[in-house]
Chain A
Amino acid sequence: MAKSRVDERYDTDQRLTRLVYAYLATSAVWLLLGTLVGSYLSLKFIWPDLGVAPALSFGRLRPVHVNLVFWGFASPGMLGLALWVVPRTCRTALASHRLAWIALALINLSVLAGALQLLSGITNGAGEFREFTWPVMGLFAIALVLLTITLYRTIAQRATRELYISNWYILAALLWTITLVVIAYVPWIQSGLADTVVQGYYMHQGVGMWFTPMSLGLAYYFLPKLLNKPIYSYSLGVLAFWTQLLFYTMIGGHHFVFSPTPWLLQTVAIVFSVGMLVPVVAGTGNFLLTMRGSTRSFARSYSLPFILIGVVLYFVGSTQGTLEALRSLNELWHFTDFTVGHAHLTMYGFVAFLIWGGVYALVPRLSGREPSHGAIGLHFWLSVVGLTVYVGALSIGGTLRGLSWLSGAPFIESVQLMAPFWLGRAVGGGLMLASHVVFAWNLWQMRPATVREVQAVTDVVALEAHVA
């Protein structure tokens, strides 16, 4: 069925449109750079002697890839949408544009400085997602504080009595992440195995208390909005919110199952990982039940399919995380490429798809410019097929590798058996990269009119009125 055009145009002041678009545009630039690096790295598993130079080596570019995608793409992507969703649901204006612009500048500055540091071998001890040195991460944290102030003030001056659930998730994510960064970077608990406990906590909360609640908060806005009906159950959303806070905070240790971190801490992490099924089932169920009976809307919308994939892969990825935390399956999968597949299933399949769904839902309604439906379809299918190939290859290869280790075969055999799966990853990654080029093109097609263009249109209207 042909996708229908967006004929609705939000009456938003140009300032907010430009602010939101600036967040989304920088996010798209970092996405292109970040996945270019990722695709290049995937080729190194096929040709290990490709590009031999310090700044082109795997050990330095791997954290560049992860941090560009985390802090450069997904963070401003979600924040750009949130800067629109929060004032909209509060029926008020954004409290401060100035602070939001400063925050965007700080985010870009910290991602750029952090990437350059990593390229030159300067790292905060090489802990995943915690590679930016403290001055760089400090800039990022200041940006989050500025945005928290802006959004909190917006919420405080809302015109509605009740606070819509999206705002719960969005502002909570900001508060949690600022706390997280402070705890991860304070110098008093960084020696020996203490650092590993903090790292386990941080690396998982970075995903669970930042990306997850932010994306869910956005989904709680865009899904009912696009379907033109209320969310299935508000109470389920609230239940998922509190259980997310209670359970997710406790599970960081599951990245260090069987490590010398305290056994009790690992067991707590495993128990709460199972507990995570509660918010995941509540959240996904809520979304799916909202979607029920709306097949036609899906067929006619180009943004809803992105949101559907995001919701489904939120469930699949989170369930996979629970399974991987169980000691028996952890023994098989831990340390293998299975984990890399899992990370992409969640960060990409869940977070990136929801961001895209939001972008395609929002930007045409802000700018009045719509990209070609064929190009949106191309973006969708390239990323869906790319991700499937990517995750499929690494999940199968990772499982075989785990079995090889269990069988006691020489280690090098487990490296050689990965060859076809690493090739599969490179192919899948290449398709994902191609889809991002299409996305960047689409975003450019949706760009808002410049001040001069708006002025020109106004002049013409005025002139016509004068002539008439």
Chain B
Amino acid sequence: MRLDFHEDHRLLFGTVLAGFVALSVVVAVAPAAWLQRAVPPTPGSRPLTALEQRGLDVYLSEGCVYCHTQQVRPLAQDTTRYGRASIAGDYARLRPTGPFHPTPRVLGTERTGPDLSNIAARQPSAVWHYLHLYQPRAVVQGSVMPSFPWLFEVRDSASAGDSAITVPAPYAPTGGVVVPRESARALVAYLLALRSASLPSSSSAPASGVVRETAAPVATPTSTDDGSAWREQGAKVYASNCAACHQPLGTGLPGTFPPLAGDAMVTAADPTRHIETVLFGASGSTIGGVRYTSPMPAWGATLSDADIAAVINHERSSWGNRAPLVSAADVATIRAQGGRRAQ
């Protein structure tokens, strides 16, 4: 028998099919089967609770994955923003839960919005997430994220057990209160479960990963410089980490996130409480007679002393605030004193 691809269609298409199957096994099936068997979940991670799993279903149904990745690449542009690089074990707990319940695909391929692998560490406030889902532009000016009002219902008044959210005036419904439905509670529970488990090699960094490296090693005011170095750094750190809640102009959101412009703690001559609050976080504070239930994250876990000093100085010298500035050394001193939670 002559082997002639041009004339023997059986030989041709048999080779074409067998070749493709063989290559597919090499490049997809075998590596996939191996990964599935060999990679255990990252130590320190935990399975999702039933509510969080339900939230992951909402995440997939609503197509969040088309605009948000959950993969932090081992590149400076990613790790400085989102925390430690993702590892295979971070996904090992994702699996199909039934014949009509396929594998959640969360890695994503596009970042119209930021990466969410570690969103719970950056944004641990459930209140913020509810408001952001209800109307993204109420908390982030310039956001193009869709709003998801169908995850909420508007009721005449909040009954016992409802956790109504405070929506800023331009976006609030004309009457009644906005209450998250079960789907919103599940989705927010899922988002708040997205926290990169810390790896043994980065144990020097508390809680949630890598201490960020600053572009300027010593971005701290001294008596001689004009402050331009830390000014730029402070504005950048503020925009990336603080503006989502406290807003770009330090106005806060009435009743939800406290203002920084004109705030007593920010303008106090003694910066100790200000530094403590940024380093160790706060929750349940009453400021100017208003009680804020939304927790403030402990930024000491992810920001360096120089970054914290820069952002504190940005807050102390912007929006009409004229308070004495601090140095990275001040921050280091208070960090060393340990984690008394600011009240």
Contact = CB atoms under 8 A, between A and B. Distances in A.
Interface residues of B, number: 81
A199 B105 contact: yes
Interface of A: 44-45, 48-49, 52-54, 57-60, 62-63, 121-128, 130, 133-134, 152, 155-156, 161-163, 168, 171-172, 175-176, 179-180, 183, 187-202, 209, 238, 245-246, 249-250, 252-253, 255-256, 258-262, 265, 268, 331, 335-337, 339-340, 405-406, 408-413, 415-416, 422
Nearest to A259: B71
A253 B7 contact: no
B17 interface: yes
Given A48-B145, A258-B74, 6 more contacts: A52-B147, A259-B86, A331-B77, A336-B110, A410-B239, A415-B112
B140 A412 contact: yes
12 contacts: A48-B136, A59-B63, A59-B64, A59-B146, A155-B9, A176-B20, A188-B33, A189-B32, A197-B28, A197-B31, A198-B29, A410-B239
B6 A163 contact: yes
Give chain A's interface secondary structure class. Answer: helix
Contacts of A252: 27-28
Interface of B: 5-7, 9, 12-13, 16-17, 19-21, 23-24, 26-29, 31-33, 35-36, 39, 60-67, 69, 71, 73-75, 77, 80-81, 85-88, 90-96, 99-100, 102-105, 107, 109-114, 136-137, 140-150, 215, 236, 239-240, 243
A133 B100 contact: yes
A253 B16 CA distance: 22
Contacts of A238: 5
The 7 closest A-B pairs by CB, nearest first: A59-B63, A121-B61, A258-B73, A410-B239, A201-B28, A194-B36, A194-B32
B16 A187 contact: no
A339 B137 CA distance: 26
A331 B78 CA distance: 10
B27 A249 contact: yes
Given A52-B147, A126-B60, A190-B95, A408 B69 contact: no
Contact of B109 (A183, A335, A416): A335
A192 B70 CA distance: 13
A198 B105 CA distance: 11
Contact of A191 (B31, B103, B111, B142): B103
Given A201-B24, A260-B71, A192 B95 contact: yes
B186 to A, nearest CB: 13
A128 B66 CA distance: 9
